[in-house]
Amino acid sequence: MRRFGQNERNVVSNYVALAINVLAGIFLSPYILHRLGDAAFGIWVLIFSITGHYGLFDLGIRSSVVRYVAKARARNDLEYGSRLISTSLFSYACIGGVTFLITLFVSANVSTFFSIPPEFQRAARTLLLMVGAAVSLGFPLGISGGMLEGLQRFDVTSLTSIASTLLRAVLIVFALRRGHGLLVVAFITVVMPILSSLVRGLFALRLLPVRLSWKYVDRATFREMANYSGVSFIMIVSTRMRFNSDEIIVGKFLSAAAITYFNIGARIVDYAEEVVEAFSQIFVPMSGHADARGDTDRLRKIFVLGNRLCSFITFPICAVLVILGKSVIEAWVGAKYIPQSYPVLLLMVIPSTLMMAQSASGRVLFGMAKHKTLAMVTLVEGIVNILLSIALVRPYGIVGDALGTAIPLTATMVFFLPGHVCRKLQIPQRVYLREAYLLPLILLTPTVVTLLLMKTWFVPHNYLQLAIHLLVAGAVYAAALLWAFSTQRAMKFGGLAAPLGQFSPAGVSSEGFSSDI
């Protein structure tokens, strides 16, 4: 029997952590919403959206920490590791100080910048100050997570995340039942990641016992990190503009309550994206290894079959949300949110599905270190997203904001990304589209028919009824997948079957990837 290795533990723990995080969110979000009310919940989302943009100040340093910690471990060079971590810690401490000053300024003027009801203005200022301070502190503390990723110990990160998520859920429910409000819930929410980072730091320093000191803060090391992280920083900026600007725009031009209605639709799509993200991250080291060996044929297979596997996950999720989206919203938070939140969900899920179905594409470009053009296009998309959302939010409300995100994202995913990667790998685009997406669409068809027929029988209004629909449709889709994999059609590219192990999480270890890829 093959040994259950570190890579398998990493992937399994990642999915367990994801499942617990999603389930906790599904349970906590409506609980907090109904206890706090639409306006207070909207302020909650707004403040976390504002501080979410502090991630721009990461400057790509975390990606450098991951890469160069792996390098230090591979060389067993604790001197280099000490310079890396000490320099990163100093850089992040400076960044944390800057973001805290920004927090002080924004918190003092938050009611001027955003449409906040008078009775919530003081709470909003305090909440922003609290969350901003925690995020500022999280910059230097977050190095521990980067170290563990570089050491390939995702299992430690996942286990601490699981413990933090469960404890946070219990404490929030307890606090709300005792009559506490927004600020206490926020305090619990921001303290748990800090405690998790401290625990991760203890593990990381045991696994890589570097020395932390001023004498190891090194300008040459900072330049080395900066050279690597430049393109990553552009991607960070682009991602923040793409997905973290909507609630802020809604809060600026509409109201705190409108944020709640927008967030409900958008958050459901976020959960779907997290499922695909947890799987697709394996394609970066796989493509990096293939590129280092000059194995273009394997890169092509990772690109095509990787996107096919992502589509196996993405397409049924999209079908469920389009056909049963209203039922999902009703069961989750209540029927009154359907008229405004379902159009947002619908507008967001279509372009997001196009993106998720191509999750392997960006990972292949990162693995080949040829992601600069993608970063620049995504940056332009993010700018257009913000401008278009601002232009459409006033005449069309939260639907206009969703359109502002959906239009440029669709353009990138349809007109740029497929052709760009196909040119890089010298694959005819029609061949790629046929090989990657025809089989997933064929397998999806019986499931769509099942969902539509079930809906004519009865429309689900609660979790039990929704579960009946999903179980029946899931059984149909599982049977289709079983046929595809048992006949090897699921893993064929160009008439050749690729061994499943090459594209499974276990396949990463079987190929003998070194830790610095």
The structural domain count of the chain equals 2
pLDDT band at 53, cuts 50/70/90?
Answer: low
3-class secondary structure per residue, 437-480? HHHHHHHHHHHHHHHHHHHHHCCCCCHHHHHHHHHHHHHHHHHH
Tell me the pLDDT tens digit for each residue of 269-314.
888 887 788 777 767 656 766 776 788 888 898 899 999 999 999 9
Whether residue 213 is found in the same domain as residue 306: no
Alpha-carbon Rg for the chain, nearest whole angstrom, is: 23
Residues 6+ apart with CB under 8 A from 207: 147, 148, 151, 153
Cβ-based neighbour number of residue 401 at 10 Å:
29
Instruction: Say if residue 295 is in the same domain as residue 203.
Output: no
Model's pTM, two decimal places?
0.70
Q: Are residues 327 and 254 in the same domain?
A: yes
Summarize pLDDT for 187-222 with one digit per residue, the tens. 888 888 888 888 888 888 887 787 777 777 777 777
- Domain boundary pick from 222, 244, 266: 244
Residue 114 lies in a domain: yes
377 shares a domain with 257: yes
Structural domain includes residue 298: yes
Tokens 């998520």 -> residue = 165
Same domain? For 231 and 296 the reply is no
Q: Report how far residue 382's alpha carbon sits from residue 5's, in angstroms, rounded to the nearest whole number.
A: 39
Confidence band of 495 (pLDDT split at 50, 70, 90): very low
Mean pLDDT, range 243-269, rounded to an integer: 82
Residue 178 phi, psi dihedral angles, 5° rounding: -85, 0
Q: Cα(275)–Cα(314) distance, rounded to whole angstroms? A: 9
Of the residues 217, 244, 271, which one is the last residue of a structural domain? 244
Q: Specify burial of residue 202 (Cβ count, 10 A radius: 0-12, 13-18, 19+).
A: exposed
List phi, psi (to 5°) of 228. Answer: -80, -35
| 191 and 256 both lie in a single domain | no
- Nearest 5 degrees, angle CA 414-CA 420-CA 422? 100
Do 50 and 169 share a structural domain? yes
Provide the pLDDT for residue 507. Answer: 38
- Supply the range of the domain harboring residue 358: 247-440
Same domain, 187 and 296: no
Same domain, residue pair 281 and 371: yes
pLDDT of residue 71: 65
Rounded to whole angstroms, what are the CA distances from 412 to 211, 296, 384? 45, 25, 11
Kindly state whether residues 253 and 194 are assigned to the same domain. no
Model pLDDT, residue 144: 80
| Structural domain ending residue among the three candidates 406, 425, 440 | 440
pLDDT at 505 over 50: no
